[in-house]
Chain A
């Protein structure tokens, strides 16, 4: 498809079609993007404004121990999220991919419905579960504790004592890195499943049978045939989970409490409370750079691309 605009009229038509969007995106997307880049070399003014100077001080400041520690935590949380998503998501994708076509569409739909609902609301739902007086702890200190007590009364062996003690007080999940990781895994799991599913669906299962005919055991036929063939999906899914986890704001804010903060929260506080626009710009520009590199790798892979941008891409 696509013809070269031969006539003047074709050029006019093309300009009418793409001109408004082009203008809009140049003004309200590209220009602000360049603005952030420019300001990241500036200096904080006395009253919170921006002094237009050219220095690298904001980028240097990023490497002080405090910022580095937050960046390290962010990196750790994003990586852990990606790995857990992979461990849960890959078999899930394989499960969906090996169902009959009739089931597959329904299962995919069920996977996508929560994904498309409000992220804030879904994170809040986890707050209900994880907080100290939440549902998980209600079960833990309530039903589970009672069960253990009953068992201890019935069968008096010393084994119950540590269990009784453990279930006597609530587990503290809210406000820890684990809470953030749980929230992020929940939020981005479909982003991992979709590309893995796309890769599994295209997998030629006669190759797996062939490998087994050649006396490969199940483990070998997985590591030598299935995994390499679905690798593009794995990489694409990992990037699609890693990037938004790196830039997470709501999840650490709601589930991480005051202690566990990530880069997203640093950016927020630079803009909303510290009013240090230049430093906030530098941090968000670094975040965008990481994102850009990830996206480039993703597009290089090509394969799973169309499968996600159509429906699952964010």
Chain B
């Protein structure tokens, strides 16, 4: 804030204090403006949800080709459950997400503890390194990992996807756990140590239980990001390691079909459940879902 502006605000504040009461002015126009604002809010939320609703509605549409409504059906969902390729993709997705979540949750929690508890030379650059995977564009990260795997002659497959997912998930877990640790009362640990708990006992009995909601929220976030990731997976996948988003993409490239609508709706549902769960956990941590 520029000093002149601050000064102007102070001046306004002072004048306001002198003046005291507020006169009801331009009330009618104010009401009109606030109605307009509410309308904008409503339209904004319609914009956010309309495509999703339409996608879900059309996943129940009996017509195969036309967009027009031809009656309710569950056929497309039934077709998904017998589709072997989709089944294989789901298994791949779950393997990748579970592995990368397990590893990145452990590593991310450890690094969060280290970053919040210690000062050390080189902390700032390391902090930046920890942040970079979050801010770097997907496509740039995808490219550099692909180059690395190709030049180090690692065969592309599930392994390379898992390695890539861990590389971005560590940072996300660390951010969530550090937010939790920032509210941590260190005196609780000191109390445990005063009661002759050794370091391992303090960590296991005091620190971990207290930060557990943050760790779980971080893990869920990692799982969601891993299940949902398309671009990085697309670049680092090999033959036979198709995940669900890659399968959807492949199907979309062949044309819009109701099966894609059904599969997409189920993916939407799954991520919504995961996200809500993660938010509830974080809310339990006392920070609120204020997103702030």
**B-binding residues in A (CB < 8 A):** 1-5, 10, 13-14, 16-18, 20-22, 24-26, 28-33, 35-36, 39, 50, 88, 91-92, 94-96, 98, 105, 107-114, 116-122, 124-129, 131, 133-135, 138, 142, 186, 189, 194, 198, 201, 206-207, 209-214, 217-218, 225, 228, 243-244, 246-247, 249-250, 254, 264, 267-268, 271, 277, 280-281, 284, 287-288, 291, 295, 306-307, 309-314
Contacts and interface: CB of A to CB of B under 8 A. Distances in A.
Interface stretch (B73-81, B82-90, B284-292): B284-292
Nearest to A311: B291
Contact of A247 (B9, B138, B248): B138
Interface string B125-158: 0100111111111111101111110110000000
Most chain A CB within a 10 A radius of its CB, from B107, B133, B272: B107
Given A125-B55, A126-B51, A213 B140 contact: no
B31 interface: no
B3 interface: no
Interface string B30-45: 1001000110110011
B15 interface: yes
Contact of B140 (A108, A210, A284, A312): A284
Contacts of B23: 213
B280 to A, nearest CB: 10
A39 B150 CA distance: 13
B41 A10 contact: no
Nearest to A272: B235
B118 A5 contact: yes
Contact of B290 (A88, A105, A210): A105
A128 B55 CA distance: 7
Contacts of A186: 47-48, 51
B188 interface: no
A95 B40 contact: yes
Contact of A2 (B37, B117, B228): B117
B51 A247 contact: no
Contact of A125 (B25, B52, B108): B52
B22 A213 contact: yes
Contacts of A17: 110-111, 113-114, 117-118
